[in-house]
Structure 1
Amino acid sequence: MQSTATVLVYSDNAGTREQVRLATGRRPAADVPAVEFIECATLPAVLKQLDKGGIDVCVLDGEAVPAGGMGVCRQIKDEIFRCPPVLVLMGRPQDAWLATWSRADAAVTLPVDPVEFADALAGLLRGGRAAA
């Protein structure tokens, strides 16, 4: 098992980024690596980080403004070679169809539920596909 995993967190809301960090802790599960975060508040920052490489999982806020995480997910799935798995944060459970449209590998609702989020993130870090 690698020693650390790099998780990109995109949200224009610092509080949402903090919820993700707090829900993850040092590691989302005992059988996955410790997590290091790269936080981005804008789409250009996300694209720059993905171009650099080394991202293991992306967490994208579907409620981000002006570029919502679901649209960003679809864009990076189309444009980034070997795009890392994506976990989308949805505003409502009814938005699950949008998460499917975006080609997200997993989706959870906001506000972040620590157990649900950690399970979904750990699944993606294990290389599995969690339910979207």
Structure 2
Amino acid sequence: MHLLLNIDVADLASAEAFYSTAFGLKAARRFGSAGVEMLGAQAPIYLLQKDAGTIGAGAMARDYVRHWTPIHCDVVVDDLDVALARSLDAGAVQEGAIRQADWGRIVTVADPFGHGWCLLQFRGRGYDEIATHS
């Protein structure tokens, strides 16, 4: 399987600037004014220009206020404090305090388009610190 991540955004130029600054992604291919391929993660991320009010999934109109979805993305970082500061400087909004877990540290942020992201810093063996094997 090959995974692609598509992110609808209201403003392609500001989205490219955010994802470049916050997560260090680099623009690769452009698809006119409709999209840009961002590389630097394990899967390519496609930022897609979709105006607010247009129909998205089902009959729901797109809006770019903070929203909840059962699918979210985690960004694993080497230094959570540095990554959080970089994300906030780029325009993310922090949602809650940094939390500690047996596997590491986590903080949630929202991008300027209402999409939620978790920033994770693993410690030790990461999730293997808490994993059980069946």
TM superposition score normalised by structure 1:
0.35
Structure showing greater Rg: 2
Indicate the structure with greater strand content.
Answer: 2
Normalized per residue, which structure has more helix?
1
Instruction: Considering Cα pairs closer than 8 Å and 6+ residues apart, tell me whether 1 or 2 has the greater RCO.
Output: 1
